Amino acid sequence: MTQSDSETPNAMISVRGVSKSFIKKRSIVSTLRFWRPKEQVAALDDVSLDLARGELVTLVGPNGAGKSTLLKIISTLIQPDSGTVFVDGKNVLKNPEDVKARIGYVLADERSFYWRLSCRENLRFFGSLQGLTAQNLDERIEISSAMFGLGEYLDKEFMNLSTGQRQRLALARGLIADPPIVLFDEATRSLDPGRAERMRWIVKDLLVKTQGKSVLFASHDMEEVRAISDRCILMVNGGIASVGSFEQIESRVREAFAEEARKETEEFTKLLETHGIAFDSKRVNQ
Amino acid sequence: MKTLITLWSFVRRDIKVAVSYRLQFFFQATAMLSICITFFFLTMMFSDVEANIASLDKYGGSYFAFVTIGIAISNYVDFSLRTFSSSIRQAQMTGTFEAMMTTPASIGVIIGGSSLYPLLFTSFRSVLLIFFGVFLFGIEIKLGSISALGLVIILTVICTLALGIFSAGFIVLFHRGDPVTAAVSGLTWFLSGVIYPKEILPDWVQSIAALLPVTHTLEALRLGLLQGASWNTQQNSIIGLALFAGITVPLAFLWFSWTIRRAKIAGALARY
């Protein structure tokens, strides 16, 4: 992983100077004042990164740091305001379908299935959208579901699965087309500790070391990032704050999480004070 | 071939979801039957004066036959648009729309595939209504040019698909408040001659009605099913439908692509 201003040849993902702002939700009154400039919230600010073939990079940072926005831009779900993104040499804006054919995206939202269909039927549907043919669809369903221990649940309706099983189905869906690049967005959020560890083993040893896939893994779980990372990127307030091995940047990662928590506690304390409730916030921030 | 397989996977998905709601099929059939019964008795109420209604002569003189075809087609367009836009809205809310958009399937395939089942299902409802009318309540069918009728049905499906795509674009952009379905359903009911012959409307209103595809569909189906009309008689309706389809289909796809682009800029594909 490198972070530079020039494009790196042969990088599987190359992000250069990407910025993204969203229009802040407005009241009806301010919507009617359409001539006034719209208030914007910066989600990403001049982000650049490269991901090489067979490399695993973690994106770590507190909630709202811009990790999911970056993954969505790479997977063509969101358009950047400025900057360029290439996936295996394909521009995300000019060749979105080629880009999507190379990416498996494991969404953080484990509800994004058809609730009245079985796991197999869901995987069959999304597999066919991935371009898998009838011949290899069954084989890929079998492999990807077994990878996450879903074999016995394949014919169970999605609505009858537990949250963790749904999350594992989302993982299986992301890998069903055997893509060379995989993006994970908070992929172990709902898994029990044993399965989360098994999932980390699959990502690191099977997908990256054995199969040579490139993986971008977003998480706010520090222990997970420590266990899985060769290198990691700390994102804070939409920008890249640090890049290095987890050990190199651990103190900055801890500081970033603590800072976010401190801000929220201070705001909460002020709110309590306005209601006349005394609260010693120093004890919380210790 | 690959596209056809992908489109079929949408239909298979929607059939499986629909079949899982077993009672829904039963209630759809009874709803069609109750519409038939209602209009059958309504027609009986003024059966004495039916023969004197000159504007019905063109369509064979039976109000029950006239209104059954009217309701079948307006119901087809209205229900197709509603089912289509609600399936897009539901996909937004559950996150499946975003999940579909992460796959390499093109927007055309995703939106076309999402519309297939609503169109097929509502066709079944309309055929069922006409079936009840013919076999339970004695509507006399005088079949005209089958090729003309077939073409009218295909063009109607294409026009409905275009309107559905317009409607889906509004859902992608605004999530709620789709003006297309409301406008098309309202105007069709009022102008296209669903429950009364359009000939009773003032000439200038009839000119506006000619802009709606359902007006041409109703004219062609009534003449083709009740009066045995030839290809030549159906020609104007076919041209009207073909013009509407030719103009609206490319516009609908352009509109939908634009709304997807706007949603990607706003980061709103998964917002609901």
DSSP state string for A258-278: HHHHHHHHHHHHHHHHHTT--
Query: Over chain B (272 residues), what is each successive 10-residue block's mean pLDDT?
Result: 86 87 79 87 82 84 91 89 82 88 90 86 88 89 89 93 90 80 88 92 93 94 91 92 95 92 83 60
Predicted confidence band at A170 (pLDDT cuts at 50, 70, 90)? very high
For B226, the enclosing helix (H) or strand (E) is helix B213-226
Predicted confidence band at A171 (pLDDT cuts at 50, 70, 90)? very high
A223: which residues sit within 8 A by CB, 6+ positions away? none
| Residue A234 clears pLDDT 90, i.e. is over it | yes
Residue B271's pLDDT is: 62
Residue A9's pLDDT is: 64
Residues in chain A whose Cβ is within 8 Å of chain B: 20, 22-23, 43, 69, 72, 75-79, 97-98, 100-101, 103, 105, 107, 109, 111-117, 121, 124-126, 128-131, 133-134, 173
Q: What's the Cα-to-Cα distance from A201 to each of A205, A281, B46, rounded to whole Å?
A: 6, 40, 78
Residue A230's pLDDT is: 81
| Residue A285 clears pLDDT 60, i.e. is over it | no
For A49, the enclosing helix (H) or strand (E) is strand A40-51
* Nearest residue on chain A to B18, alpha-carbon basis: A116
The answer for A216, left when phi > 0, alpha when psi is -120 to 50, beta otherwise, is beta
Q: Which residues of B242-252 are buried (b: 16+ CB within 10 A; e: fewer)?
A: eebbeebeeeb
DSSP state string for A195-255: HHHHHHHIIIIIIIIIT--EEEEEE--HHHHHHH-SEEEEEETTEEEEEE-HHHHHHHHHH
Residue A96's pLDDT is: 92
Q: What's the Cα-to-Cα distance from A82 to each of A20, A42, B156, B188, rounded to whole Å?
A: 7, 12, 43, 45
Sign of CA dihedral B256, B261, B264, B268: negative
Cross-strand bridge partners of residue A16: A84
Residues A120-144 have a mean pLDDT of 92
Q: Which among A79, A116, A126 is the nearest to B103, CB-wise?
A: A126
* Nearest residue on chain A to B20, alpha-carbon basis: A116
* Nearest residue on chain A to B21, alpha-carbon basis: A116
Q: Is the Cβ pair A97, B104 closer than 8 Å?
A: yes
A210: which residues sit within 8 A by CB, 6+ positions away? none
* Nearest residue on chain A to B110, alpha-carbon basis: A129
| Residue A76 clears pLDDT 90, i.e. is over it | yes
Q: Can you say how many angstroms the Cα of residue A128 is from the centroid of all Cα atoms in its chain?
A: 23
- Say if residues B214 and B74 touch (Cβ distance below 8 Å): yes
Residues A140-150 have a mean pLDDT of 91
Best mutation target among A112, A122, A141, A160 (most B Cβ atoms within 10 Å) is A112
**Tokens representing A135?**
């011949």
Residue A22's pLDDT is: 87
A272: which residues sit within 8 A by CB, 6+ positions away? A278, A279
Sign of CA dihedral A182, A185, A186, A191: negative
- CA separation for the pair A170, A125 (Å, rounded): 13
Which residue from A98, A82, A79, A78 is spatially nearest to A90, judged by alpha carbons?
A98
| Residue A134 clears pLDDT 90, i.e. is over it | no
Predicted confidence band at A222 (pLDDT cuts at 50, 70, 90)? confident
3-class SS of residue A15? strand
Residue A81's pLDDT is: 94
Q: Which is more confidently placed, A243 or A272?
A: A243
Residue A1's pLDDT is: 43
Gap from A42 CA to chain B (nearest CA, Å): 12
DSSP state string for A138-185: HHHHHHHHHHTT-GGGTTSBGGGS-HHHHHHHHHHHHHTT--SEEEEE
If you ran DSSP here, which 8-state letter would residue B227 be given? S
- CA separation for the pair A203, B97 (Å, rounded): 26
Q: What is the mean pLDDT of chain A?
A: 87
Task: List B residues 71-110 in contact with A (Cβ-Cβ < 8 A).
Answer: 94-96, 98-106, 110
Amino acid at A58: T
DSSP state string for B155-177: HHHHHHHHHHHHHHHHHHHHSS-
Amino acid at A18: V
